[in-house]
Structure formats: structure tokens, C-alpha cells
Amino acid sequence: DAGVIQSPRHEVTEMGQEVTLRCKPISGHDYLFWYRQTMMRGLELLIYFNNNVPIDDSGMPEDRFSAKMPNASFSTLKIQPSEPRDSAVYFCASSLQGDTGELFFGEGSRLTVL
């Protein structure tokens, strides 16, 4: 399997613009997670899905953030409008059901909002 695939790898945009990050999880994985990583706050969970259904979005910072998973092989994280404080690396991860303790991370999308 190719692993978790994220795009774009790097995005530079201006404040106020819409940003869409994309993720393809590993085929057959039941869970999909969106994490954000910054120096100040570390790895924070934004939202996660189980079988395409959002389970917990309490980590989504504000209404400017939204995430969807229209099918088992695709998810998006959208920020509209973007702000400089949204600059971070956004990771998508997927996992199998069960007590394995293992998440498979994508390479991340590094977002810079000017």
C-alpha cells in the first residue's frame, strides 16, 4: 500500500484566502484523523472520523475550520478564511479498528498564511 497520501505538501497563501487540504487514507482503515502540529502547541487532534462519520470535532479551533469525508478513500480539511495563526503542519492519519495503538501518518501539509 502507498500509505496515507496528503496534498498539497506545501501551501503558501494570503490571509483571508480559502485553503483546502486533502487526504487519502490507507485502504481498509476504519479511522481517519486530522492533526495540527506547531512548536507552541505540539500535536493537536482537530477531528476524527470512523467509517466516514465525524466522531469528535471538539479540537476544531473555530467555525473557520471544516472537515468532510465523503467516502472511505478521501477527506478534506478546509480553512475559510485563513489567518496567519493557522500556519502549521497539518497531518492526516489513519488506523484500523482495534487495540493496536498504531496510527499511520501522512507526510503532512505545511501551511503558511501570510
Q: Which residues bind another protein (CB under 8 A)?
A: 31, 33, 35, 42-43, 45, 48, 50, 55-56, 91, 95, 97, 99-108
Beta-carbon contacts of residue 31 (< 8 Å; ≥ 6 apart): 48, 49, 50, 94, 95, 96, 97
In whole angstroms, the minimum distance from the beta carbon of 94 to another protein comes to 10
Q: CB 24 → another protein: shortest distance, Å?
A: 14
Nearer to another protein by Cβ, of 81 and 112: the residue is 112
What phi and psi values does residue 84 have, to the nearest 5 degrees?
-55, -35
* Coil, helix or strand at residue 84: helix
CB of 75 to another protein, least distance (A): 15
**φ/ψ (deg, to 5) at 18:** -85, 140
* Residue in the block written with cell 502549521: 88
Cα–Cα distance for residue pair 43/15, rounded to 1 Å: 23
Is the CB of 35 or the CB of 65 nearer to another protein? 35
Residue with smaller CB distance to another protein, 74 or 105: 105
Cβ(11)–Cβ(112) below 8 Å:
yes
Q: Which is nearer to another protein, 48 or 65 (CB)?
A: 48
Shortest Å, Cβ 31 to another protein: 5
